[in-house]
Amino acid sequence: MFETRSIFTAATFAVAFMTAGCAASTSDDTATVGSNVTVSPLISGRSAPYLYLGWGNPPSATSVMSATGVKWFSLAFVLSSGGCNPAWDGSRPLQGGVDASTISAIRNAGGDVVPSFGGWSGNKLGPNCSSASALAGAYQKVINAYGLHAIDIDIENTDEFQNNTVQDRILSALKIVKQNNPSITTVVTFGTTTSGPDSTGTRLITQSKALGSNIDVYTIMPFDFGGSNMVTDTENATNGLRDKLKSTFGWSNATAYAHIGISGMNGKSDQSETTSLSNWTAIRDWAKSNGVARLAFWAVNRDRQCGSGGSPGSDCSGISQTNWQFTKVTSAF
């Protein structure tokens, strides 16, 4: 059950892996594909692991950049501070705090960020904003605050993912965002089964076409399968998403892969499974060879070895490793 992935947050281990990266454009990416949906060219930032500044003993972003070569981070999470007002973790301001200063430092070091909205835990904007236009306005506040090139909407829990009204509100808001910011890359991140999207994920894809959402990257979170071959299951889940995108939009294999993201969990998850460094390297190589748009994992905070106990948590992976090994693998995507 991928819905249970959030066992590691500050209060609940919020596992939102919204893999927010962006992809290189392909020759098909500017074509109009049915229902007046224009597939926009994608930007750089294809490898953007999650970094959570309010949880898990967050490391220095620039130190991680220097050690690994990674340039982009998916920053978690933008939530509601009450009503339709965006704030980091629902409490930290958009300007004048650690998040804004970290974004500036990352950019000064030659990188950039993809803010992630939502996740598993907390008070989300999707259910709290009364309309698609209001929700788009909340997204726009964050876009304007940082002059963003990409945003990630992490739709995980039942309050957004399995609520059709809220799901449609998010998809309609993203259409407005794209109309007002034609060059921005929009990413939607959601759970998966080992064979691809479940009925809720399938509905999200179908509705994104029906509503003209013009989403650039559909990112799945292939983990919490309960103990499995993580490489094979990730490939099968990704190909299931590929086939759904092909049947929905009429895309080729190559174009479908160019609109897919993979967001994994490094080391041990909360469902009796382990993604080893060799697993993640194999997943990266397979994704790269197939032209997948983006690669991320949850989270940089966890990309280091635990203490003597060895149990995974908010700031360690639960496996034997040196600091930032998964990030370094991801940076080579």
30 burial via Cβ count (<10 Å: 0-12, 13-18, 19+): exposed
Asked whether 173 and 135 are in contact (CB, 8 A), the reply is yes
The answer to whether residue 156 is catalytic is yes
Beta bridge partners of 11: none
Q: Which two tokens stand for residue 224?
A: 């919490």
In degrees and rounded to multiples of 5, residue 132 shows phi and psi of: -60, -40
Beta bridge partners of 220: 190, 262
CATH at residue 256: 3.20.20.80
**Separation between Cα atoms, residue 319 and residue 275, nearest integer Å:** 9
Q: What is the pLDDT of residue 265?
A: 97
Choosing from 3, 156, 160, 273, which is the catalytic residue? Answer: 156
Asked whether 294 and 261 are in contact (CB, 8 A), the reply is yes
Length of the chain in residues, anyone? 333
Q: What is the pLDDT of residue 311?
A: 86
- Kindly report whether the global pTM for this prediction surpasses the value 0.85: yes
Sign of CA dihedral 113, 202, 250, 223: positive
Domain count, the chain: 1
Residue 218 carries which side chain, given as an amino acid letter? Y
Q: What is the pLDDT of residue 6?
A: 40
Residue whose C-alpha is closest to residue 46's, from 77, 16, 76, 25: 25
Sign of CA dihedral 202, 42, 286, 270: negative
**Separation between Cα atoms, residue 13 and residue 265, nearest integer Å:** 12
Q: Which two tokens stand for residue 286?
A: 């397979």
Q: What is the pLDDT of residue 16?
A: 32
- How do the pLDDT tens digits run along the chain, 333 residues long? 233 334 344 323 333 333 333 333 333 333 333 333 333 345 556 899 999 999 999 999 999 999 999 999 999 999 999 999 999 999 999 999 999 999 999 999 999 999 999 998 899 999 999 999 999 999 999 999 999 999 999 999 888 888 999 999 999 999 999 999 999 999 999 999 999 999 999 999 999 999 999 999 999 999 999 888 999 999 999 999 999 999 999 999 999 999 999 999 999 998 889 999 999 999 999 999 999 999 999 999 999 999 977 789 999 999 999 999 999 999 999
Q: What is the pLDDT of residue 12?
A: 33
Beta bridge partners of 88: 78, 92
C-alpha triplet 100, 266, 22: angle, nearest 5°: 50
Q: Which residue spans within 57-172 are E strands per DSSP?
A: 72-80, 86-88, 112-119, 150-155
Q: What is the pLDDT of residue 32?
A: 31
Q: Say if strands 274-275 and 112-119 run parallel, antiparallel, or are unpaired.
A: unpaired
What DSSP designation does 122 have?
S
**Separation between Cα atoms, residue 102 and residue 112, nearest integer Å:** 10
Cα 118–chain centre separation:
10
Residue 57 sits in which domain range?
2-331
Q: What is the pLDDT of residue 45?
A: 60
Beta bridge partners of 277: none
In degrees and rounded to multiples of 5, residue 129 shows phi and psi of: -80, 135
Residue 333 carries which side chain, given as an amino acid letter? F
